[in-house]
Amino acid sequence: MRRLMGLLLMSVCLGSWAFPAHATRVRKLTLTQTRDQADTVLLGTVNAVTTRAGAGGKMVWTDYQVTIEELLLGAPGSSAAEATTVSFAGGRHGALDVGILGVPQLEVSQRYVLFLLARDNYPSATVGWGQGIYKVLEIVIDAVRRTVLLSYNRQPLELDADGALFRGSPIVVNDQGWQALSMQREDFDASPKAFEPLILDAAGKPIPQVLTPPQTSAVPIADRDFADVSHLRQFLSGELQESLAAGRQ
């Protein structure tokens, strides 16, 4: 019963999570590039959000106050900080209501791993906009509690058979709990996809077709080897490598 309640609670909490935002047109980065570009990587919880006008009143900035639980990567000496401010362009402050489209948003009370840039005035304080943001979630799958680091576009960090880190296929929460996300196209019409075509050769004769279903690498969600913060620590220190196999970015 407690497990069921836990799952229900988690579902309710996460059900309010809107479809993931993602950066506007930003170059795709590998995990290694994301790590290498970060000035600091921290584990922490957003505890407040405020807005302010930037210099000259040209831009509004949304400031997230983050309580630091652990500095995972960063300059020596900076680990003494207990809290930091993470800023993103855009918001409403007084009469100012301006912004940059596609800038990431964080949630108050949510625990995150953040790959941060130290420079001021970037629209996104995180590397590669949403690419430097991971939610730290405790989820229950088949009655087993597991930690998942979920990217901004819902891809969990996972370990392959060789123990290398990669961004897995998206997962989503619904009434049945956590499930692999199956991509849904819009419900365009009564017939969303046209019927199969007739295929003729150059002389106008039908070509017999052998239709081979596409290979699928779908692994049941309970069998997926999700990485947790300890694996991320190893990756950040260079002890764990990124898997760059096809389709694993």
| Of residues 153-182, those binding another protein (CB under 8 A) | 153, 155, 167, 169-170, 181
Residue (49 or 69) nearer to another protein, CB: 49
Least distance in Å: CB of 34 to another protein?
Answer: 10
Is the CB of 24 or the CB of 230 nearer to another protein? 24
Q: How big is the site for another protein, counted in residues (CB under 8 A)?
A: 75
CB 183 within 8 Å of CB 189 = no
Instruction: Give dist(CA 100, CA 23) in Å, integer.
Output: 10
Say how far apart CA 116 and CA 73 lie, in whole Å: 10
Quote the CA–CA distance of 243 and 152 in Å, as a whole number.
19
Site for another protein in 217-246 (CB under 8 A): none
Residue 40 binds another protein, judged by CB under 8 A = no
45 close to 110: Cβ distance less than 8 angstroms:
yes
| 171 touches 181 (CB < 8 A) | yes
Q: What does the radius of gyration of the chain's CA atoms come to, in whole angstroms?
A: 22
Our CB check for another protein shows the closer of 133 and 140 to be 133
Nearer to another protein, 6 or 180 (CB): 180
- Contacts with another protein, 76-115, as mask; x by CB under 8 A: -------------xxxx----xxxxxx--x----------
